[in-house]
Amino acid sequence: MVFLLAMVGASDVQVKFPDRLQDLGINLNYERETPTGWTLRSPREDGRILWERYRRNNTLGQLIDLPILRLCINYIRQLNLGNQLSVYLFYTDQPENVTYRNKDTLYFAQIARIWLPEYFAQFGYGVNVNPVAISKNCNPVDSYHMLRFFGRRLKDLVPPNAVKWVFTSQTGGIPTVYESLLLQAISIYREKCTPLYVLPDGTVFPVDFKGFLLETFYREHAKGLVERHYYAPAAEFLENLNLPFHAALCRHAAFRLLFDLKRAKNALESLPVDISLSYEEEQILADLRRQMDELVRDLPGDDDKWSERISRLELWILELYWGIEIALAQESWLEFLGRLIRFTETILQLVLERQFKLPFATISQILRSAEKIQNIHRLSIDLHDIPTKTNLNMLHTIIKEISQKAQKLVTNEMETVANFAQEIESKSLISLRNHSILGHGFRGVSKEEIEVRVNNIQNLLEACQEVLKILRIPRDRNPYEIIKQVVLRALQ
């Protein structure tokens, strides 16, 4: 569908031959002569007289003209976007106590409703004109009123998802009205919106400051999204700003944050080979690609690749930590809780695999490895009485059993991680997670519910940082923070 949104102004209906109207007994008051005809002094009173005679005798249409609207519609017709156009024509009809009530254009809108379809019918072009009154509660010379009016009304008249092309007329009417109409149309319809301007000589051209306004809109939205680490929607705005490298970084970050590592890698690989990058951008891209080469691989199980396995676990733990930081910044408490518990589970796995060089990734591996530890070190590790066998509680139980029965096997790392896991379990955070949609329930998770259990959420983040320090996992190069800063610089 193609739409034209316009304000009918005091000069939009003009009389081409005043003397011929006078011969017909139609006496009007004229304001001034223009290249296309005479304007009426009082659009309300003279417009009413003209409308009442015109609706009874449409042959009078040959004596009048609507030059601005006619030229705009003809421009749209020549674009060959279809053979139908819907026009929403806004007019004023102010209360009786208003000084400039004589300039109201309600009758001009009615003339346009008949005249425009009849004129364009000769070209086989269907024009449907819908007059729309500007609310009497809105002062048409008040920009605030007009912006609020069009912000509500346009979405009702022309839903953004139901339109391909929207044109606005920047000529005719009260400046505060057509300026507010323009701003809201661009805000609502964005790249679908094309403002038109009619020069005095009749030339129509699209107004190019729509691009500037949209660019400002896209930049501000992208900046706000990236600052809060909402990378996926930011990527779309960056594409619209013709920043393909930065859009790719954001798509990469969005997939990476979800551990969709193959697509995170592909987002970087899909960049055109001929894209122009600065030295810094080339280095960042190379670093991110190296990281993804590591992250995307499965855990090796061979003994001769054990150091590679440990390195991969450390990288995944660091990714989980970055996600915890971001979830905290976004105040996404369910995400925060889910990542915190997965972090706890993975650090338990890491310290056991570091110490015993046995795999602890799945429940079956945990059971087999626990049995091997029992046989090698001649101690009893009872996992069968655990009511609910999850990776986390089984791994934690193994470390607790070793601490009680073979203290010489306990490292500082194991003790630190076990204490961290004990804190998570004792505060009923796992139960809170299990009653949410990440577990088996439908409860939401709020900041207040978490803080009832831990007093201060920031303490949990600091505890995670202390664990990383003990595990010798450096967190000095946060890829999400690097991406954020690179994108924000591009948006300045």
Quick one: average pLDDT of 53-61? 93
Q: How high is the pLDDT of residue 207?
A: 82
Burial class (CB in 10 A: 0-12, 13-18, 19+), 382: exposed
Q: List the single range of 79-83, 103-107, 396-400, 432-436 with lowest mean pLDDT.
A: 432-436
Quick one: average pLDDT of 236-260? 94
Residue 424, pLDDT above cutoff 80: yes
Q: Are 344 and 321 in contact (CB under 8 A)?
A: no
The more confident residue out of 301 and 24 is 24
The more confident residue out of 139 and 106 is 106
Please state, for a pLDDT cut of 70, what percent of the chain lies above it: 99
**DSSP bridge partners of 127:** 85
Residue 422, pLDDT above cutoff 70: yes
Alpha helix (H) residue ranges in 304-362: 306-330, 333-356
Quick one: average pLDDT of 138-167? 90
The length of the chain in residues reads: 492
Q: What is the DSSP string of 150-172?
A: HHHHHHHHS-GGG-SEEEEE-SS
Look at the alpha carbons of 56, 61, 65, 68 in this order and tell me if their dihedral is positive or negative.
positive
Residue 388, pLDDT above cutoff 80: no
Q: How high is the pLDDT of residue 386?
A: 76
Q: What is the mean pLDDT of the chain?
A: 91
pLDDT tens column, 287-341: 999 999 999 998 887 777 889 999 999 999 999 999 999 999 999 999 999 999 9
The domain limits of the chain are: 2-207, 213-294, 297-483
Residue 252, pLDDT above cutoff 70: yes
Residue 281, pLDDT above cutoff 70: yes
What confidence category does residue 210 fall into, taking pLDDT thresholds of 50, 70 and 90?
Answer: low
Quick one: average pLDDT of 173-192? 87
Quick one: average pLDDT of 345-364? 94
Alpha helix (H) residue ranges in 391-477: 391-405, 412-426, 429-434, 447-454, 457-470
CATH 3.40.50 holds for 2-207: yes
The span from the CA of 99 to the CA of 204, in Å, is 33
Distance set, CA 444 to CA 80, 230, 337, 423, 438 (Å): 52, 21, 11, 22, 10
Quick one: average pLDDT of 32-56? 94
Q: How high is the pLDDT of residue 455?
A: 82
Q: List the single range of 65-74, 176-185, 261-270 with lowest mean pLDDT.
A: 176-185
The model's pTM: 0.67
The span from the CA of 5 to the CA of 132, in Å, is 10
Q: How high is the pLDDT of residue 178?
A: 83
Q: How high is the pLDDT of residue 428?
A: 86
Q: How high is the pLDDT of residue 96?
A: 80
Q: How high is the pLDDT of residue 38?
A: 95
The more confident residue out of 125 and 162 is 125
Quick one: average pLDDT of 433-451? 88
Q: How high is the pLDDT of residue 87?
A: 97
- Dihedral of CA atoms 137, 142, 144, 145 in degrees, nearest 10, equals 20
Quick one: average pLDDT of 415-433? 90
Quick one: average pLDDT of 152-157? 94
Q: How high is the pLDDT of residue 274?
A: 67
Quick one: average pLDDT of 421-447? 88
The span from the CA of 117 to the CA of 91, in Å, is 18
